Amino acid sequence: MKKIQSLIILFAVIHTNIQAQNGNISAENLSQIKKAYANTTSDKAIRNAIANVDINKLADNAENRKQLNGDFSDKVTTKGITNQKSSGRCWLFTGLNVLRAQAIAQHNLPELQLSQNYNFFYDQLEKSNLFLQGIIDTRNKPIEDRMVEWLLKNPVGDGGTYTGVADLVAKYGVVPQDVMSETNSSNSTSNLSRLLALKLREFALELRNIPENTKPATIINRKIEMLGTVYRILALNLGEPVQKFTWSRKNNEGKIIETKEYTPLSFYNELFGNDLINNYVMLMNDPSREFYKVYEIDFDRHMYDGHNWLYVNLPIDEIKNIAVKSIKANKAMYFSCDVGKFLNREKGTLDVNNFDYESLLGTTFGMNKKQRIMTFASGSSHAMSLIAVDIDTDGNIKKWMVENSWGDTGYKGNLIISDEWFSEYMFRLVVEKQFVPANILELLNQKPVRLPAWDPMFSADENK
């Protein structure tokens, strides 16, 4: 009996040691770990401060008091402040802000505000169709299939990308803001998105359960009926899109020089007219993937008949040179980045030296951009319009400025970016092809590397 008890004790000891070796935190491990916190008077002071004050205020870098000012050597002409409020429509605000800057400069307008709500209505309708058709196309696959799973996780949302702007504007045009103004549901999209997603998932199960021998035309007709329900939900929340409207053009002094009736497409063609699909190229700075390659993101688009994301991946200095050319030509650009990193909202600056977390917490944060991407620590989260650059007399870039869509916050509705921050946290830039060197444009002739829709590097811009 004693022998059996001894064996049991021995087994328990061995089992405990194996558990510790397999990665558990043992009592001995915990004792060693706790030694890292000495609980000195300095530690206590820092702990008390962090317990009562926002960590960013405590980490505010006193040695970086020399602020990035609002003086720039080159700046795009633009006027007005926009506010996406509690929505993820930064991509749409950015795209339309780039367009309005062009129209203001080209037609000498005192100001121009475009209706995000108008294009958002069709964005939600087109995304709903994209989802339902995707469910139809994959209905013979098991529900555990990765593509089916991705569809069900992402039926619809208010985030997006430049390709969405280009496809929507090409198909539906644009209208002035006062023609289709914002509503509570467009300013605060969470409830609309939640209810729409819930209904679409319900429709998805119905489509997947349709008998296999059902005629394709019957399935499509049912999908159209489903989209009728979606349209009604959108119309009740956002209002119904206008088909025609009257608009008065004013000169820079505010005097009316012309009043005409327009359709959304005729208004776009007359005031803007540029081919957003074919005359622009999307550039990416992703050091975790091979440079000078073209990448395409499968299916993650806004419209079933629209365009997948297509990028040329370039070193950051190449992108900066192209951006400078565009700004000097008075052309704003769609710009997306990881806006939450080192953002000082009160001062309206993005600078890697804004906060000194290392001194406060007694450790270092040493990953480079490639490592942050690989470990999911950083990725594009927000789109803005790149409108200014400051270059010194020696030709060195000192800082940049973007037009934001957070209302009258930051620096007069804008954010000022240090060049170092630009290198570390800028990801995507959309620019007219005329500013891109021929050797880079030639890369578009290569067969793109196809990446799946769920690749985390290519999530939609949707910062709220």
Asked whether the predicted pLDDT for residue 190 surpasses 80, the reply is: yes
- What is the pLDDT confidence band of residue 79, given thresholds at 50, 70 and 90? confident
Mean pLDDT of the region 63-87: 89
CA distance 47 to 389: 40
Asked whether the predicted pLDDT for residue 305 surpasses 70, the reply is: yes
pLDDT in tens, 237-248: 999 999 999 999
**pLDDT score, position 435:** 98
**pLDDT score, position 63:** 81
Strand partners, 295: 311, 449
- Window from 63-72, 229-238, 373-382 with minimum mean pLDDT: 63-72
The burial of 447, by beta-carbon neighbours within 10 Å (0-12 exposed, 13-18 middle, 19 or more buried), is given as: exposed
- Window from 2-6, 85-89, 291-295, 459-463 with minimum mean pLDDT: 2-6
Query: Is the whole-model pTM more than 0.85?
Result: yes
Rounded to a whole number of angstroms, the CA Rg of the chain reads: 27
Q: pLDDT averaged over the chain? A: 92
**pLDDT score, position 371:** 96
**pLDDT score, position 218:** 96
The burial of 393, by beta-carbon neighbours within 10 Å (0-12 exposed, 13-18 middle, 19 or more buried), is given as: exposed
Asked whether the predicted pLDDT for residue 4 surpasses 70, the reply is: no
Mean pLDDT of the region 254-260: 90
Asked whether the predicted pLDDT for residue 128 surpasses 80, the reply is: yes
Contact 183, 87 (CB under 8 A): no
Mean pLDDT of the region 351-376: 94
- Highest mean predicted confidence (pLDDT) among 110-114, 225-229, 345-349: 225-229
pLDDT in tens, 12-66: 555 555 554 578 998 999 899 898 888 899 888 898 988 998 999 888 888 886 7
The domain segmentation of the chain, as residue ranges, is 74-458
Query: 183-194 as b/e, with b when 16 or more CB fall inside 10 Å?
Result: eebbeebeebbe
Helix axes 116-137, 146-153, angle to 10 degrees: 150
Number of residues written out for the chain? 464
Domain 74-458: CATH superfamily is Cysteine proteinases (3.90.70.10)
**pLDDT score, position 251:** 83
Asked whether the predicted pLDDT for residue 166 surpasses 70, the reply is: yes
Contact 283, 314 (CB under 8 A): yes
Mean pLDDT of the region 161-175: 96
**pLDDT score, position 20:** 47
The residues that are catalytic are 90, 382, 404
Name the residue with higher pLDDT: 43 or 229.
Answer: 229
Give the pair of three-digit tokens for residue 457.
């590097």
Which distant-in-sequence residues (6+ apart) come within 8 Å of 284 by Cβ?
295, 311, 312, 313, 314, 427, 428
pLDDT in tens, 408-459: 999 999 999 999 999 999 999 999 999 999 999 999 999 999 999 888 666 7
- Window from 2-16, 232-246, 259-273 with minimum mean pLDDT: 2-16
Mean pLDDT of the region 252-266: 91
Asked whether the predicted pLDDT for residue 93 surpasses 70, the reply is: yes
